A and B are shown apart, each in its own frame.
Chain A
Amino acid sequence: MIERKDVEKLAALARITIPENEIEKVRKDIDAILEYVDQIKEANDLANNLANNRANNLANNLANNLANNRADVSTSTNFHSYAAVMKNVMREDGEPHDSGIYTDVLLKSAPKTKDGFIEVKKILNG
């Protein structure tokens, strides 16, 4: 069960103001959603039971592999035929675009600009 102070802390972390009169509603909603999603904790138990019942260890291997990244898991258990050939996609350095060609169009979107920069309030005082 999450409490009012938890909501206030999350809002501060997420940098969102929640009006005072909405906090309780948000708390209740989040609580209900967390109660609903808690059922996924059964999913693993079910997987383990199935694995035992079928007397194979596929699901256990699966559970052991879960900490690995997606590509590794895919390769080891062959979830998708195409995922077996998945790999990180890297781009070669080089041929940068000309400096400044996107500056104007991007700055045009910004609420406050000054001398070709986005203007924000001072972070440090003194």
Chain B
Amino acid sequence: MANIDTKTLTIKKAHKHLKRGDFTVAELCDAYLKNIRAKNDEIHAFLEVFSDISEQAVHAQKMFTDGTATLMTGIPVAIKDNILVSGRRVGAASKILEGYVATYSGAAIQKLQTAGVVFMGRTNMDEFAMGSSTENSAYGPTKNPYDTSRVPGGSSGGAAAAIAMEGALVSLGSDTAGSVRQPAGFCGCVGLKTTYGTISRSGLIALGSSLDQIGPVTKTVEDSEIVFNTIRGQDPLDSTTLTEEIYEKARSDGAKKVMTVGVPRNLIDGEGIDEDVRVNFEDSIERLKKLGYVVKDINLPHVKYSLPTYYIMLPGEASSNLARFDGMKYGLYMSGDRLIDDYLLSRGNGFGPEPRRRILLGTYVLSSGYYDAYYNKSQEARKLITKDFTDAWKEVDIIITPTSPTPAFKFGEKTMNPVSMYLADVFTVPSNIADVPTISVPSGTVEREGKSLPLGIQFFAPGCREDLIFEVSKKFLGEVGEVGEV
């Protein structure tokens, strides 16, 4: 058996080896399976490891034999438990979907299937993607591979931990307020949230429909870009996906490459940011200056309202989306005296505390007496936040912030107070509210109780300018050379 070092593998390296026949797809998958077997009992990144990996590997291997293999062929991929793969269990880590088997695959999954990836398993998450720690999973939390007394972040905590423990080369998560980027930051990975409408939401169990995007967790920016280019594109089953024409037109606007980096001082200098995070962020700014970027302080006056805006919009949208889970069509069913009791019991027992809280809150902000005071206000605020970014793009090409205000926190630290948990998303949520593409990449580590914990930095770009965040973050990580080179 070939000696495969999963630590240093990237998609391109794996592809080169597979193409040369240094190892087979089956051997590559075995290397990751070995890691899963060694670590998953403790980390609990995977809710399920698929039993047909060897069959999938045979199919991918054939593509190498017959010359149809592409970069993603044979690549081991983990899937967050809210993304449907036809014929496989999927449950958004909720008891209300107990036993549910997906009846179709969404567009992103179909594109991966066409490319011949190997699906390794489905990864743990906060129930219905509501949370920042995976502590809200109905199946128990995932642990951070860097320190098992700490959370991996969330809601795509399993997807990020799966990459950090080398259980897959690529994970797909979903990001509604930072659910890909924040766990990627806590687990030392690269997490991408793209422009709304670049990746189809078909086959993604909806949380906040105006905010949700599927996004990859990877080890390198290059891998992130490869996955993005594989799964993006207009989809007739998601009418909010952008046409190629609109996407290309938006890409051709503005900066050709990144020269000026903006630092929103009014957000960074606020309270609640860990001192080590602050120091690391300033170090990152110095690193960017050394690379030749012009760094400029900017003001985003309304962006500080992103989180309160989100916690009005999101419960509203989520309470509507989660109305479909009624015990009649699929998932958990509990029988009562009358039909109404069936609903009350199935939903009351199927949803965990956080979904219940958000459904009630959403029902409140959407109710006729409060709609203007809350939901409408949040839509006004969303426009103001968006405009902050639009104004900023006149001055800078890219904006940077830390990914999270703290490194990974301890289990139980924030579970008693929902608002304290929500604040973990303070730097990630503006990206979804203002609809700009954002990437989180590792920016260093911090020592806590003898453990080395990863930190992340985010790069925000104008809508559809994923190319700019790939360019600058590759340079930041040293994946490519000097500024100006592409």
Contacts and interface: CB of A to CB of B under 8 A. Distances in A.
Interface of A: 2, 6-7, 10-11, 13-19, 22, 26, 29-30, 32-34, 36-44, 46-47, 50, 58-59, 62-63, 65-66, 73, 77-83, 85-86, 89, 91, 102, 105-106, 108-112, 118, 120-123
A38 B381 CA distance: 12
- Highest count of chain A CB atoms <10 Å: which of B301, B348, B360: B360
B249 A118 contact: no
9 contacts: A16-B351, A38-B308, A40-B309, A43-B377, A62-B384, A79-B383, A79-B387, A111-B333, A120-B328
A11 B236 CA distance: 36
B343 interface: yes
Interface in B354-389: 356-357, 359-361, 363-364, 367, 374, 376-381, 383-384, 386-387
B329 A85 contact: no
Interface in B285-305: 301-302, 305
A81 B319 contact: no
Contacts of A15: 326, 340, 343-344, 347
Nearest to B355: A16
Given A17-B344, A79-B387, A111-B332, 7 more contacts: A10-B360, A17-B349, A26-B357, A33-B357, A33-B419, A91-B236, A108-B101
Contacts of B311: 33, 36-37
B345 interface: yes
Contacts of A37: 308-309, 311-312, 374, 378
Contacts of B339: 120-123
Interface in B41-66: none
Contact of B308 (A30, A39, A66, A85): A39
B148 interface: no
Given A32-B419, A81-B250, A43 B359 contact: no
B418 interface: yes
A64 to B, nearest CB: 11
Complex A-B, nearest 10 residue pairs according to Cβ-Cβ distance, in ascending order: A17-B348, A111-B333, A82-B250, A89-B239, A109-B330, A121-B339, A37-B308, A15-B343, A43-B305, A43-B381
Contact of A110 (B249, B312, B329, B347): B329
Given A33-B311, A89-B239, A120-B328, A10 B363 contact: yes
A44 B364 contact: no
Contacts of A2: 364
Nearest to A90: B239
Nearest to A89: B239
B100 interface: yes
A59 B482 CA distance: 40
Contacts of A111: 327-328, 330-333
B242 interface: yes
B344 A33 contact: no
Contacts of A17: 344-345, 347-349
B248 to A, nearest CB: 10
Nearest to B327: A111
B276 interface: no
Interface string B73-112: 0000000000000000000000000001101000000000
Given A16-B348, A30-B360, A121 B302 contact: no
B324 to A, nearest CB: 12
B380 A43 contact: yes
B271 to A, nearest CB: 14
A33 B333 contact: no
Given A109-B100, A121-B339, A16 B250 contact: no
Contacts of B349: 17
A91 B238 CA distance: 11
A51 to B, nearest CB: 11
A82 B360 contact: no
Given A44-B380, A79-B387, A85-B249, A106 B103 contact: yes
A16 B376 CA distance: 25
A14 B380 contact: no
B229 interface: no
B302 A47 contact: yes
B363 A14 contact: yes
A33 to B, nearest CB: 6
A17 B356 CA distance: 9
A86 B248 CA distance: 14
Contacts of B359: 14, 16
Given A121-B339, A122-B339, A109 B103 contact: yes
Nearest to A81: B253
- Highest count of chain B CB atoms <10 Å: which of A10, A15, A29, A62: A15
A30 B362 CA distance: 10
Interface string B3-36: 0000000000000000000000000000000000
B247 interface: yes
A106 B353 CA distance: 29
Contact of B387 (A33, A77, A106): A77
B387 A62 contact: yes
A111 B100 CA distance: 10
A88 to B, nearest CB: 8
Interface in B194-250: 236, 239-240, 242, 246-247, 249-250
Interface in B370-418: 374, 376-381, 383-384, 386-387, 390, 417-418
Given A14-B319, A82-B247, A33 B381 contact: no
B464 interface: yes
A90 B204 CA distance: 21
A50 B301 contact: yes
